[in-house]
Chain A
Amino acid sequence: NAGVTQTPKFRVLKTGQSMTLLCAQDMNHEYMYWYRQDPGMGLRLIHYSVGEGTTAKGEVPDGYNVSRLKKQNFLLGLESAAPSQTSVYFCASRETGTRNEQYFGPGTRLTVT
């Protein structure tokens, strides 16, 4: 199993540009999440999904959109990037059975200039 993968690993955007981050998991998990991690702030939840075709807002959803057209993929979009969105973005999926663990991707480091 590849686990959770994220594409791309690094990206530099200019203010106002758009991009999509792709997250894929091969563990058949229903729950998927997008977080951002900033120095000293821990992980903050942007959006999450409880299954194919569903999405919901997390703690810091403004400026981001998501889609979950297929169970294994969870896309995070930035329509008009701002310097405040410079961060490291992590995707995660979760097994909600006995083990109840979250599995994280390696992260995407995004810089908006």
Chain B
Amino acid sequence: SQQGEEDPQALSIQEGENATMNCSYKTSINNLQWYRQNSGRGLVHLILIRSNEREKHSGRLRVTLDTSKKSSSLLITASRAADTASYFCATDASGGSYIPTFGRGTSLIVHP
């Protein structure tokens, strides 16, 4: 069963706009990761945020984590057509597990 659930399932925006995706999970975690998947390709790791961190940045990506609400958000600023992809969150449960549980993903379309 999926631990992480992304919201929305699909998002369509114009180039230059910001895109925000959310992930909710159910149990205590060590860390949460975000991945991108382009159509027909494997997943690519974007960013990892640990349970004791609240915010992390990487280029145009900003990830927040609220462990009290068991939720995370991924913000892509100034989106580009090349950002069109599916985005997945994955969580490692507390206790040193390296077996991540993936959500169903958010499909992002950025129109040029």
Contact = CB atoms under 8 A, between A and B. Distances in A.
Given A31-B98, A42-B102, A42-B105, A101 B42 contact: no
A63 to B, nearest CB: 19
Interface string A15-59: 000000000000000010101000011111100101000000011
Interface residues of A, number: 27
Contact of A42 (B41, B42, B104): B104
B104 A106 contact: no
B98 A94 contact: yes
B105 A45 contact: no
Give the bracket for the number of chain B residues in contact with chain A.
20 to 34
B2 A104 contact: no
Q: Is the interface of A mostly helix, strand, loop or mixed?
A: strand
Interface string B44-71: 1100100000000000000000000000
B31 to A, nearest CB: 7
Interface of A: 4, 31, 33, 35, 40-45, 48, 50, 58-59, 90, 92, 94, 96, 99-107
